[in-house]
Amino acid sequence: MQVLELYSGIGGMHMAFKESGKPGCIKAAVEINTTANSIYKYNFPDTKLLNLNIEGLTADTINQLEVDTILMSPPCQPFTRNGKQLDMEDARSDSFQHILHLLPDLAIKNVLIENVKGFEQSEMRNLLIKTLTENSFTYQEFLLTPYQFGIPNSRLRYYCLAKKQPEKFQFETRESVMDIIPSHTNESSCFPIQDILEDDLEDCNFRLHDSTLKRRLKVLDICYRTSRKSCCFTKAYGRFMQGTGSVFTDLDEETVFETLANLGRMDPASNDYLDLAQSLNLRFFTPHEIAKLMGFPETFSFPQDISNRQKYMVLGNSINVKVVSKLIRQL
């Protein structure tokens, strides 16, 4: 595979391609976000990285790269349930439409697309399938979550694999969305959260603020060392509490449940309430821990000038490396 990585972000697709073990290389990556690009370049200094708007790409430019595979994760905001769901009317879908417009003039044989759940019901999805079909691609859509691969994190995502005919997949495709990839054995359980925790962590910078303990304690999803699940981490993690990801405590589950029950009978404005809430030792997961939950290898790292807030944002926009690597093997 000679790969063009579009919307390359911090290099999740690049990592997934390496993880897949398939022969080939990333010929070029395209991303407009300068923070993401600095992280990508830090980890893949030898890859050609184009800092430009994808709408500026032409068929000639892409063909000159001599690529036969496109891996991409277009912006999800037009389709996410927490957004306005403007679909193709959202300007952030324009670049994806542009790529589909170029596809008939490209020497592309393989395509992998990742997006949020909900994309499968969008007009943009309909345009994608129409374009693939009209250009002699066979395709298969999936809805997959890391839980299915033994990873204790919820990140349900839409995926589409496409191959240029006469090439075929080595599995039987179907029109409906598949919820498991062929030849995969569903894991009976996920590994425990303790497997991704940083050792000897000075966690004072990651402790929850007192204001959060007073006002938002009831909405937190709390993980323990023995936990085998966690919520999806979004780019708002660390800034907003509900629906952005889980938090962690080293205490056992029984102690936490008992403490929460006692807190439920107390006045949140009292000093005693805050003292007891602080005893839970709740902290955010670190960026490194989240990266490991998302399948990034130990070799992945951030430049020193990237703040934790920036790390959370780019990780929230990235992919699960392990899941995508298995899809690339099928592609």
Catalytic residue among 25, 76, 231, 232: 76
Q: Going by C-beta distance under 8 Å and a sequence separation of 6 or more, which residues neighbour residue 29?
A: 4, 5, 6, 8, 11, 14, 40, 44, 47, 48, 49, 50
Kindly report the length of the chain.
331
* Cα–Cα distance, 144 to 117 (Å, whole number): 9
Provide the CB-side half-sphere exposure for 293 (13 A, CA): 31
Annotation marks residue 160 as catalytic? no
Which is nearest to 252 in space by CA: 193, 188, 191? 193
* Cα–Cα distance, 112 to 22 (Å, whole number): 14
* Strand intervals (E) in the chain: 2-6, 25-30, 49-50, 69-72, 110-116, 137-144, 157-164, 222-223, 247-248, 283-284
* Cα–Cα distance, 251 to 222 (Å, whole number): 11
Catalytic residues: 76
